[in-house]
Amino acid sequence: DVVMTQSPLSLPVTLGQPASISCRSSQSLVYSDGNTYLSWFQQRPGQSPRRLIYRVSNRDSGVPDTFSGSGSGTDFTLKISRVEAEHVGVYYCVQGTHWPQGFTFGPGTKVDIK
Amino acid sequence: EVHLVESGGGLVKPGGSLRLSCVVSGFTFSNAWMSWVRQAPGKGLEWVGRIKSKIDGGTTDYAAPVKGRFTISRDDSKNTLFLQMNSLETEDTAVYYCTTFGDLSPDYWGQGTLVTVSS
């Protein structure tokens, strides 16, 4: 089964500074149709998860360009260009390529303010 | 606007059963593949299972920890998704979210319903 890892697991950031989260999969996430089904989610404290990025680098509607996704194959990155207080929460990567194993989430990266 | 509202959570004893519901609006439910994801208290996200639309066969897939105990079904006439949970274990204690299934990713989420399995 594919395993998702993230680093770091905890990320204290100064307001206004950039942040970067790494996500790695144990197998390639390139699907038979040529697409790579890696997405990123934000979960603010006490809230449901919200999708930010799908297919590696596509921002969902309403997601500011402060967030960007990149990567290929097995290595992916979520970047926040300038961290704001509202960005505090846990960020998860998830793969949707390998079925019937199903969605596999990374362990999450907790972002907070220094 | 897409809305998903889960209900049916509560306290149940180990070995017991519970049925969760998720009423949706804002999209054509009958065409949608749907999923359940859970989150144990203070823990990360765990996929539970999915159901395809009837036109795509209506088949289901489940995560290994719940296979054979949980069943996902749907009532397209009522825009409702279900999760029947049997033989519940303390490890099943979690907030259960229903999600839509867009671009091979859980795109829209409900607010979740808490299931507590305890004697």
Please tell me the predicted confidence (pLDDT) of residue A100: 85
DSSP output for chain A: ---EEEE-SEEEE-TTS-EEEEEEESS--B-TTS-B-EEEEEE-TTS--EEEEETTTEEPTT--TTEEEEEETTEEEEEESS--GGG-EEEEEEE-SSTTT--EE---EEEEE-
Residue B97's CB is within 10 A of a number of other CB atoms, namely 24
Please tell me the predicted confidence (pLDDT) of residue B57: 96
Cβ distance A100 to B109 less than 8 Å, yes or no, reads no
Average pLDDT score, chain B: 97
Please tell me the predicted confidence (pLDDT) of residue B102: 86
Residue from the list A90, A102, A105 with its beta carbon closest to the beta carbon of B50: A102
B44-63 pLDDT, tens digit per residue, is 999 999 999 999 999 999 99
- What is the Cα–Cα distance from B79 to A12, expressed in whole angstroms? 42
Cβ distance B105 to A94 less than 8 Å, yes or no, reads yes
A53-109 pLDDT, tens digit per residue, is 999 999 999 999 999 999 999 999 999 999 999 999 999 999 999 988 899 999 999
Cβ distance A103 to B105 less than 8 Å, yes or no, reads yes
- What is the Cα–Cα distance from B28 to B113, expressed in whole angstroms? 23
Average pLDDT score, chain A: 97
**How much of chain A exceeds pLDDT 70, in percent?**
100
The nearest alpha carbon in chain B to A108 belongs to: B44
The residue-averaged pLDDT of B31-39 equals 97
B111 neighbourhood in chain A, CB within 8 Å: 48
Please tell me the predicted confidence (pLDDT) of residue A99: 87
B45 neighbourhood in chain A, CB within 8 Å: 41, 43, 49, 92, 94, 105, 108
**How much of chain B exceeds pLDDT 90, in percent?**
97
Chain A interface mutation, best of B35, B96, B105, highest count of A Cβ atoms under 10 Å: B105
A97 neighbourhood in chain B, CB within 8 Å: 104
Res. B100 pLDDT band, cuts 50 70 90: very high
Three-class DSSP category at B85: strand
A14-63 pLDDT, tens digit per residue, is 999 999 999 999 999 999 999 999 999 999 999 999 999 999 999 999 99
